[in-house]
Chains A and B, each alone.
Chain A
Amino acid sequence: MTDLAATDALPKPPRDLLPVFLPAILAVAMLPLVGSGSSWVTLTVASLAMGMMIFIMASGLTLVFGLMDVLNFGHGAFIAVGAYVATLVLLPLAGWVQADSLWLNLAVLAPAALAAMAVSGALGLVVERVLILPVYGQHLKQILMTTGGLIVAEQALYALWGPQIIPLPLPTSLRGSFIIGDIAIAKYRLLAMLVGLVVFAGIQLVLARTKIGLLIRAGVENREMVEALGYHIKRLFLGVFMVGSGLAGLGGIMWALYREQVHASMGNDLTVLVFIVVIIGGLGSIGGCFIGALLVAMVANYGGFLVPKLALVSNILLMVAILMWRPRGLYAVTSR
């Protein structure tokens, strides 16, 4: 890559940092309302962990939305499939899961996560080729096809695994909390935060430092021009779709371990949540998706603690407030 130094630069527009600080502002604003410092820390850590998991599930969807203008209402199927595939690894190796050894626990968690990502990614390949390819550019048909796909996937999971909820206990080393004074921080939540940050940093690195990343960013802006430069954007999209599906699968196993259970309707339940995050963040914006996921999780946790009756509608209220402030989301990337 040619590396020419800039002799000058255009005056940069003021950086739009307000959305970046929103989660911190919200957290600080909640402190006097929550009252107890230890409860506030617990709620904040829970929010960050939950937000990271939602981000992992939603990141692929925002790129799919932004890059190819595809409304994939079946995204939740990848989440549920990821969780079920993880049970295929975790339940037969329950002895390793319950062993009091961090390394044995990780030795079973890592292949479970990889299997969840691989199967969800492969399912993404099938869904893109079979359900989405014939309906590019037709939003109504996309909604019908992908919603139908979600229903079929859910019923297939019921048929294969039965209607019962499958318990999925946390590995022994990840149970319990770190106690600092009168503050308890759940170990698994710390792991979820770490994984979420790694995924976020990885995606940002790919988008900023690789040619594939440049193509994705360019494709979000102007698909037609990317094609006119000689790149097959549909192949790129297929790759993004598969990676996004794989990430949803990873989010699925993380969410299942967080809830310590797996059930076929979990994908359906989470679909609305990830859509809210993608809309709040701005279609196609990974940074916006990250902030949106944190905000959704914070509102759910603080709201659930302070005004339990509002918990069911808190995310919708948040979305309405954000869209009234910024009608195209926190960080608008596309003109859509």
Chain B
Amino acid sequence: MTDLLKLSGVHTNIGRYHILQGVNFAVAEGKTTMLLGRNGAGKTTTLRTIMGLWPPSRGQIALAGQRIEQMATPDIAQLGVGYVPESMAVFADLTVKENLILAARDGPLDTARLEWIFGFFPALRKFWLSRAGLLSGGQKQMLSIARAIVEPRKLLLIDEPTKGLAPAIIGSLIECFAEIKRRGATILLVEQNFHVAQMIGDAVLVMDNGMIVHRGEMAALADDTPMQERLLGLSLEAHQ
């Protein structure tokens, strides 16, 4: 299995704060890698640094062997990186359709792919011509994810997609991620919900204080309650 994304000694400073302090990890192609950690550990900063939104002050980031740490965000996106931010960032004044038209950078919307997306997010078909600002939180999250997958992408960076959502919607998202994975996409997913993480993750990275403190198989971490407590301050049983 080859590595699609590789971070080597990545440091990121935001103002006078030194957030990422030498992050090293690799994301295997075709796998879903979960990025876990306590609040403030640097997970969101890691995704934003990969995306070029907060460029690193030091270190290297390679996507399919190509160095991207000096590239502008649009150029990184054009290499095939889709990004779903924690805030969802749907364009509230635009309709669902218009949001997806913008996301389809390479041409007109592909009807077959849209039907595939509507299969697990039927609300998007229902509210196709409604303004995105009128959607519920869960529907906005669906739109945000749909925007990232409306065209095939090499790598998806997804930040806390289940945060604040109802269990039924979380179920739809899990189904969506499983389907995306079946199509061979590579996903790096930040998630606070350990139950969700263990259902969709192949590999896991745990961050603390701006560094990776654990890497391994997701299943292994899910089976090791003492390690969960040590790394994340929780146990799966307690979380369930």
Contacts and interface: CB of A to CB of B under 8 A. Distances in A.
Contact of B77 (A217, A227, A333): A227
Interface stretch (A5-13, A128-136, A144-152): A5-13
A143 interface: no
A226 B91 CA distance: 9
Interface string A226-266: 11111111000000000000000000000000000000000
Contact of B129 (A1, A9, A227, A231): A9
A222 interface: yes
Interface stretch (B98-106, B185-193, B227-235): B98-106
Nearest to A218: B91
B154 interface: no
Q: Is the interface of A mostly helix, strand, loop or mixed?
A: loop
Given A221-B92, A225-B85, A231-B74, A4 B114 contact: yes
Interface string B98-135: 10011101001111001000000000011111110011
A256 B78 CA distance: 46
A218 B101 CA distance: 12
B220 interface: no
B199 interface: no
Contacts of B53: 224, 227-228
B77 A2 contact: no
Given A214-B94, A217-B91, A232 B74 contact: yes
Interface residues of B, number: 35
A4 B128 contact: yes
A291 B136 CA distance: 32
Contact of A228 (B85, B109, B131, B134): B85
Contact of B134 (A8, A12, A222, A227): A12
Interface of A: 1-2, 4-13, 211, 214-215, 217-218, 220-222, 224-233, 333
Interface of B: 51, 53, 72-74, 77-78, 83, 85, 89, 91-94, 97-98, 101-103, 105, 108-111, 114, 125-131, 134-135, 147
